[in-house]
């Protein structure tokens, strides 16, 4: 369905669009179902970045101590972002994740789960270009606790950039759109 969003693209609903819409509808009504974000609980954010896309998931513990997803998000990378290093892609994924819940996250402790060891040393990171300075300046306003998880175990956030890769056209990188996917529940439910 992403090709329908392109500028000057004719609107042509295909069977592939139909199949994708059915997949999205089934995903929204089957387990795991998204739960509303509780402003009184700590937020756990799992992020991952790749040359194809950036992905994140915001979670919170329920009364039983189990983590439940509050929202998912993913963005296809731009051609410029596809050239970023792994560290910059992970930081970029974290920036996108925090921007999606910025109003709530600015005053809360956020536990970040990432498979990039470089983000563990965010407080001592020395930016080498203006883009890194902007990302670091933005991230420093949050109370972040960063936890490392092996890449092979970071399945939740890792699946979102892979989903983005499979949905993005296989044409050259210069023609890929930078569209975001956000699945979330209403904060005020």
Q: Which pLDDT tens digit goes with each residue over 30-72?
A: 766 778 888 889 999 998 888 888 889 899 988 888 888 888 8
pLDDT score at 159: 53
Each residue of 124-158: pLDDT tens digit?
A: 888 889 999 999 999 999 999 998 877 555 555 55
Give me the architecture of the 40-184 domain, per CATH.
2-Layer Sandwich (3.30)
How far, in Å, CA of 37 to CA of 43, rounded? 9
Count other Cβ atoms within 10 Å, centred on residue 77.
25
pLDDT score at 10: 85
pLDDT score at 115: 83
Phi, psi dihedral angles at 103 (to 5 degrees): -60, -35
For the chain, the average pLDDT equals 78
Q: Where are the beta strands (DSSP E) in 33-179?
A: 43-49, 53-61, 67-76, 109-114, 143-148
Each residue of 79-138: pLDDT tens digit?
A: 899 999 888 999 999 999 999 999 888 888 999 988 888 888 888 888 889 999 999 999
25 three-state secondary structure: helix
b or e along 21-56 (b: 16 or more beta carbons within 10 Å of the residue's beta carbon)? eeeeeeeeeeeeebeebeeeeebbbbbbbbebbbbb
User: Between these two residues, 179 and 147, which has the higher pLDDT value?
Assistant: 147
């Amino acid at each position: 369905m992403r090709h329908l969003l392109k500028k000057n693209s004719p609107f042509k609903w295909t069977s592939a669009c139909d199949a994708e819409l059915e997949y999205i509808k089934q995903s929204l009504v089957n387990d795991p179902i998204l739960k509303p974000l509780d402003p009184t609980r700590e937020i756990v954010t799992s992020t991952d970045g790749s040359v194809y896309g950036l992905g994140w998931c915001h979670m919170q513990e329920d009364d039983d101590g189990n983590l439940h997803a509050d929202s998912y998000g993913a963005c296809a990378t731009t051609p410029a972002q596809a050239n970023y290093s792994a560290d910059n892609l992970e930081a970029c994924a974290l920036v996108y994740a925090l921007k999606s819940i910025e109003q709530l996250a600015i005053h809360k402790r956020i536990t970040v789960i990432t498979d990039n060891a470089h983000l563990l040393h965010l407080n001592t990171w020395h930016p080498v270009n203006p883009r890194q300075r902007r990302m670091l300046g933005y991230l420093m306003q949050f109370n972040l606790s960063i936890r490392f998880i092996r890449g092979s175990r970071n399945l939740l956030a890792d699946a979102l950039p892979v989903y983005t890769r499979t949905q993005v056209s296989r044409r050259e990188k210069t023609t890929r759109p930078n569209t975001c996917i956000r699945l979330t529940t209403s904060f005020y439910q």
